[in-house]
Structure 1
Amino acid sequence: MGGGRCGAVQPMGGAECAARRGGEMAAAAAAESGPRRVGFVGAGRMAEAIAQGLIQAGKVEARHVLASAPTDRNLCRFQEVLQNCSLVFFATKPHILPAVLVEVAPVVTAEHILVSVAAGVSLSTLEELLPPTARVLRVSPNLPCVVQEGATVMARGRHAGSGEAGLLRTLLEACGQCEEVPEAQVDVHTGLSGSGVAFVCAFSEALADGAMKMGMPAGLAHRIAAQTLLGTAKMLLQKGQHPAELRTDVCTPGGTTIYGLHALERGGLRAAAMSAVEAATCRARELSRK
Structure 2
Amino acid sequence: MLEDVLTALGGVATRAQLLAVVSRSELDRALRTGAVVRMARDRYALSSTDTAVATAHALSGVLCLTSAALHHGWAVKTVPQRPHVAVPKNRRLSAEQRGSAVIHRATHPPDDVVDGLATTKDVTLVQCLRSLPHDEALAVADSAARAGDLAALRRAGRLARGTGAARVRALAAQARAEAANPFESVLRSIALGIDGLEVEPQRLITSVTPWARPDLVDRRLRIVLEADSFEWHGDRAALRRDARRYNLLVADGWVVLRFAWEDVMHDPDHVRAVLRAVTARRTEVGCSRCPAA
By relative contact order (CA 8 Å, sep 6+), the higher-ranking structure is 1
- Tell me which structure has the larger Cα radius of gyration: 1
The normalised TM-score by structure 2 is 0.30
Name the structure with the higher helix share.
1
The normalised TM-score by structure 1 is 0.30
